[in-house]
Amino acid sequence: MDYVLLVEQLLNGFQLGIILFLMAAGLTLVFGIMDLVNLAHGSLFMIGAFVGGTLALATDSFVLGAVLMVPAMFVIGILLETVALRTLYRRSHLDQVLATFGLILFFNEATRLIWGPEGLVIPLPNFLEGTVALGAGITYPVYRVVIIGVGLLVALGLYLLVAKTRFGMLVRAGASNRTMAGALGVNIPVLFTLVFGIGAVLAGLAGLIITPITQAATGMGEDVLILAFVVIVIGGIGSVRGAFIAAVLTGVIDTMGRSFLDLLLLLVLPANAAESAGPALASMLIYILMAGILFFRPQGLFPPRGATAIQ
Amino acid sequence: MTHWWTPARAVTALVLVLCAAVPYLAPALDEPFYVIVFARIMIWAIAAVSLNLIMGYGGMISFGHAAYLGIGGYAVAILGFHDITSAWVQLPVAIGLSAVVALVFGVICLRTRGIYFIMITLALAQMVYFLSVSAERYGSDDGLNILWRSDFGTRFFDLEDSVVMYYTIFAVLLGCLLVKWRIVMSRFGMVLRASSSNDTRVQAVGVPTFRYRLVAFVIAGVMCGLAGFLQANLERFVSPDMMNWHRSGELILMTVLGGTSTLFGPVVGAVVFLMLSEILSTITIHWHLVFGPFLVLVVLFARGGVMGLLGSRARHD
């Protein structure tokens, strides 16, 4: 295998990792602080794609659409939190799973009703098309470079927000021990509504950013949601840093496995066996990784400091 | 327990009599379609009963239970694909495979609790799902047709006969209910329930709860694999969609709708869930728009499900 393909796939894996991180960051904070299982986070991914896409088509500018999507998703997230999810905090995980599962059915059907069953195709603006030379004979699509860049910027911003600001300090306190933070006078409900809004924006951004490559479709967030679950389980629930590392790890391993595993298997298996076992094993790779990590570290790689033991 | 005739028991009896009578009732009412509808409902009921064993009594919320439906189903389909149609091979393979997978998955996920448990069972089931999607030889997304139902090698018991098929499903459902009832009432069931309410304390008494929970997890997996075996035979078709994570979610919904931690709740839940979706989907194709919020409301306000409303107390605490 030549190194050009290797580098390209590495970048593709990194890009998938970025998308996963945008999803997982919101999820992990929601879990960490409020102990809430929110399956509807995948719906936010989808809503971001549809709302952002519609705004982009209406304003005739993808960038403007993306910028306008941010406040829109923030409002949608806050509405969802205050109307539907707030009543679920004190309920069991089972109730939370069921209620948010019901919300998924609702949102899927609502988007199908509003945007039709065929989904939404969003063209890329001209300046984002084409490829860019990265040196050493490697060219890579401009838009994918942009995705990676935006993702890294968001990750940096989120890191600064969580690690360096007063708001972030409160968030970390909430993730470590919600009751104690509340007793010390932190307004946990307001804090959480804001965190949820930020999570919604990140999920929506992930959905919108992927849409020019795929397209906006009903239920598009669900596969990503489950991968994001794997990510936060590996990374440790409540840890943004863990989510980032686990997301990149998951993205790279998944992509590399799908491209190269059958070649690797050729070294140890006959050709037809490798050809059929390769894709099967590749699709299972990240779950095996997750199982392996959990076997040795049941709380994930980076559980938040001082977090109470998982019940 | 002063009156033996409670509303919950009346509903139980009614549903069972209805299930038993459908092959005769439906043609008489000129709705022969309902025979297959009820056969499907009973298969889902078996799966929901098996889920309730670990979820309702053991507190293990498996969000990947549909994987065993797929494993049981694919055991039939893949063996059939290779011209092995004997039930004496297919059935042990379906059961054995479900048991082995449940054992491996159980060892991994029973190390965790709460949210972690929910997500890991989901992820592991997703792994099985993607395995079936990537199996090009066995139809990938398109699934696999089954030409012949499992052959028990005797003309007195031939699943190709739709009445035999129906009553086989009914008998398996009754058998699973019996097994579940015996388990829940036994010392084993006591440990299971106790460890779900306070695992540390039970361990402190000296009971190795992990083993108990693992065995329950495997039993539930086998029961659900059996449901998959029946489903593949009934539909003569398997596809990855059998183990789509929506199916696992629906199984949990049925159980909760009927009443968790009740013996018969999951059966009632399956009947209500599938009849409701049957009826709603004839009214509008956008029925999920109503159904989704309905589920949210059920979760929020009708605790204990149908059986709870009928006054049956969950045997939990």
Identify all chain A residues contacting B241, using CB atoms and an 8 Å cutoff: none
Question: Which residue in A31, A87, A94, A286 has the most chain B C-beta atoms within 10 A of its own C-beta, making it the best mutation to test that interface?
Answer: A94
Residue A15 CB coordination number (10 Å): 26
CB-CB contact of A162 with A172 (8 Å): yes
| Cα B164 to Cα B174: distance, rounded to the nearest angstrom | 15
| 3 state SS of A132 | strand
**Is some CB atom of chain A closer than 8 A to the CB atom of B114?**
yes
Q: Could A98 and B252 be called an inter-chain contact, meaning their C-beta atoms sit closer than 8 Å?
A: yes
ipTM > 0.95 (yes/no): no
Q: Is B253 on the interface with A (CB under 8 A)?
A: yes
pLDDT band (50, 70, 90) for residue B213 = very high
Q: Residue B35: which of B166, B157, B124 has the closest Cα? A: B166
In this structure, are residues A217 and A47 in contact, taking their beta carbons and an 8 Å threshold?
Answer: no
Residues from chain B contacting residue A98 (CB–CB below 8 Å): 249, 252-253, 256, 295-296, 298-299
Tens-digit pLDDT string for chain A (311 aa): 577 788 888 999 999 999 999 999 888 888 877 788 888 999 999 999 999 999 998 888 888 999 999 999 999 999 999 988 888 888 888 888 888 988 998 999 999 989 888 888 888 887 777 888 777 777 788 888 889 999 999 989 988 988 889 988 888 888 777 788 888 888 888 888 998 999 999 999 999 999 888 888 888 888 889 899 889 888 888 788 889 999 999 999 999 888 888 778 777 777 777 777 777 788 888 888 888 887 788 778 887 665 544 33
Residue A178 lies in a domain: yes
b/e code A204-227 from CB counts within 10 Å (16+ = b): bbbbbbbbbeeebbbbbbbebbbb
- Split at pLDDT 50, 70, 90, the class of B315 is very low
Query: Do B299 and A102 count as a contact with CB atoms less than 8 A apart?
Result: yes
Q: How far is B300 from chain A (nearest CA, A)?
A: 8
| pLDDT higher at A274 or B236 | B236
Amino acid letter for position B78: I
What integer pLDDT is reported at residue A309 of this predicted model? 41
| Minimal C-alpha gap between B48 and chain A (Å) | 15
Distance from CA of B87 to the nearest CA of A (A): 27
Q: B316 falls in which pLDDT band (50, 70, 90)?
A: very low
Please give the C-alpha separations between residue A243 and each of A39, A163, A168, A191, B141, in angstroms, as whole numbers. 17, 15, 16, 20, 31
B77, B235 Cβ separation under 8 angstroms: no
3-state secondary structure of A102: helix
Calpha distance B207→B191 (Å, rounded) = 8
Interchain proximity A101–B134, CB inside 8 Å:
no
Query: Would you kindly state where each structural domain of chain B is located, as residue ranges?
Result: 36-245
CATH number, domain with residue A131: 1.10.3470
How many C-beta atoms lie closer than 10 Å to residue A32's C-beta?
Answer: 26
pLDDT band at B313 (very low <50, low <70, confident <90, very high): low
Kindly determine whether residue A94 and residue B126, on different chains, have CB atoms separated by under 8 Å.
no
- Distance, in Å, from the CA atom of B256 to the CA atom of A94, rounded to the nearest integer, reads 9
Q: Which residues contact A120 (CB under 8 A, 6 or more apart)?
A: A49, A50, A53, A54, A57, A211, A215, A216, A217
A&B contacts, CB < 8 Å: 132
Neighboring chain A residues of B132 at a CB cutoff of 8 Å: none
Q: State chain B's mean pLDDT as an integer.
A: 88
- On chain B, the residues whose CB falls within 8 A of the CB of A232 are 119
Q: Is B3 on the interface with A (CB under 8 A)?
A: no
**Which residues 123-182 on chain A approach chain B with CB closer than 8 angstroms?**
none
Interchain pair B127, A284: CB under 8 A: yes
> How far apart (Å, rounded) are the C-alpha atoms in residues B295 and A124?
39
Nearest CA distance, A79 vs chain B (angstrom): 16
- Its domain, for residue A125, covers 3-296
Query: B27-63, pLDDT tens digit by residue?
Result: 888 888 889 999 999 999 999 999 999 998 988 999 9
Would you call A230 an interface residue with chain B, using a CB distance cutoff of 8 Å? yes
Q: Which residue has the higher pLDDT, B194 or B260?
A: B194
* B151: region left, alpha or beta (phi > 0 left; psi from -120 to 50 alpha): beta
Tell me the mean pLDDT in the region B209-221.
94
The pLDDT confidence band at residue B187, using thresholds 50, 70 and 90, is very high
Q: B239-287: per-residue pLDDT in tens?
A: 999 998 889 999 998 998 888 888 888 999 999 999 888 888 888 888 8
* pLDDT surpassing 90 at residue B300: no
In sequence order, the 6+-apart residues with CB closer than 8 A to the CB of B259 are B265, B266, B268, B269, B304, B305, B306, B307, B308, B312, B314
pLDDT, residue B2, reads 54
Closest chain B residue by Cα to residue A279: B134
Residue A16 counted as domain residue: yes
Domain count across chain A: 1
- The closest CB to that of A110, out of B119, B249, B289, belongs to B289
| pLDDT score for A310 | 39
Choose among B34, B1, B15, B64: nearest CA to B177: B15
What's the pLDDT at A171? 83
Query: Per-residue pLDDT averaged across B17-27, rounded?
Result: 89
Contacts of A110 in chain B (CB under 8 A): 289
Of A93, A226, A282, the CB nearest to B123: A226
User: In sequence order, what are the beta bridge partners of B86?
Assistant: B151
Which residues of A fall within a CB distance of 8 Å from B295? 98-99, 101-102, 105
Task: Determine the pLDDT at residue A305.
Answer: 64
Interchain CB contact of A263 with B (< 8 Å): no
The pLDDT confidence band at residue B71, using thresholds 50, 70 and 90, is very high
**List of chain A residues whose C-beta atoms are within 8 Å of the C-beta of residue B201:** none
Residues of A in contact with B249 (CB under 8 A): 97-98, 101
Check residue B312 and give its pLDDT.
65
In a domain, A310, yes or no: no
A290 in Cβ contact with B120 (< 8 Å): yes
Q: Is residue A306 part of a domain?
A: no
pLDDT > 60? residue B314: no
